[in-house]
Amino acid sequence: MSLISKLKKLGLNSNEAQVYLSCLELGESNLSSITERAGMPKTTVYETLRQLHARGFISIFLKKKKRIFGVSNPNIFQEIIHEQSLVAKDILPTLNALYHTINQATNIRLLEGESGLRVITNEILEEAQELLSIGSAEQIFSFPPEFFENFLKKRKAKKIPVRVIYTDSNEAQKRKKTDLQDLKVSKIVSVSDRLESLLLIWGKTICLVTLKKKYHIVVIQDSDMVQIVKMMFELIWKFI
């Protein structure tokens, strides 16, 4: 992952990341030097520098009657993240209360893409005492490796066990060998059709993920429906 991409993950937009990195590489510089380094229009660079200055990433001062731009200590990112963490910790109880109030009336959600995957994995880590799953091993492990490994690490840290039913394949046989180290128990079933979706069950939630190209996710929160689907899972599990 490039420095620009990492800076964007820390909250800068594309222009801010490019201009900030240019300033960092140049040190104290004037607008013309930064513009040349960034390879962007001067008006865009100037406006971006103003935005970075307002957020504390850039300092502006006069030197020999010329306006000079300097970079604040990069540790400012840690300070901002710490402040955001404190704010999030403070407001999460209120947000969760609103979320659960809304979900009493609205129990079906549609999510999409990797952002949708992050939503459901965060909910699993927060809510699940056990995770049940049915799907193709090839499809399950087609998730971005970095994303999957991060989820696996957090799930193991929270000691959330998994029971998974794989459709038979070489990948399924391979993944079954990692059961002990991955805090899971897997079983393998032979089916005639290839599965293109993944079923996840935890707590009072059922989640269906279609795994073709862009992920499409349906999340259903309903105690009665979960009870039926869990019963079906247990019947399949018992007779494999």
Do residue 25 and residue 130 come from a single domain? no
Output the pLDDT for position 83: 85
Are the CB atoms for 69 and 19 separated by under 8 Å? no
Output the pLDDT for position 100: 65
Are the CB atoms for 205 and 119 separated by under 8 Å? no
Of 87, 105, 123, the residue at which a domain comes to its end is: 105
Do residue 137 and residue 46 come from a single domain? no
Do residue 161 and residue 198 come from a single domain? yes
Nearest to 218 by CA among 203, 232, 200, 236: 200
Strand duo 131-136 + 58-63: pairing: unpaired
Do residue 69 and residue 173 come from a single domain? no
Phi–psi pair at 150, nearest 5 degrees: -65, -45
Do residue 43 and residue 63 come from a single domain? yes
Do residue 55 and residue 135 come from a single domain? no
Helix axes 14-26, 31-38, angle to 10 degrees: 120
User: How many structural domains does the chain have?
Assistant: 3
Q: CATH code at 28?
A: 1.10.10.10
Of 54, 86, 105, the residue at which a domain comes to its end is: 105
Do residue 88 and residue 123 come from a single domain? no
Residue 145: how many CB atoms within 10 A of its CB?
9
Do residue 21 and residue 46 come from a single domain? yes
Nearest to 132 by CA among 207, 196, 210, 221: 207
Whole-angstrom Cα distance, residue 58 to residue 17?
A: 12
Whole-angstrom Cα distance, residue 13 to residue 7?
A: 8
Output the pLDDT for position 104: 57
Do residue 50 and residue 139 come from a single domain? no
Prediction pTM value: 0.59
**Category of 60 on φ-ψ map: left (φ > 0), alpha (ψ -120 to 50) or beta:** beta
pLDDT in tens, the chain (240 residues): 688 888 888 888 899 889 989 888 888 888 998 899 989 999 999 999 899 888 888 888 888 878 888 888 888 888 888 888 888 888 888 887 776 665 555 578 899 888 888 899 999 999 999 999 998 888 777 777 777 888 999 999 999 999 999 988 888 899 899 999 999 999 998 887 777 788 999 998 999 998 776 788 999 988 888 899 999 999 999 988
Do residue 129 and residue 188 come from a single domain? yes
Output the pLDDT for position 1: 66
Do residue 40 and residue 56 come from a single domain? yes
Do residue 122 and residue 217 come from a single domain? yes
Are the CB atoms for 200 and 209 separated by under 8 Å? yes
What is the span of the domain harbouring residue 209?
Answer: 107-239
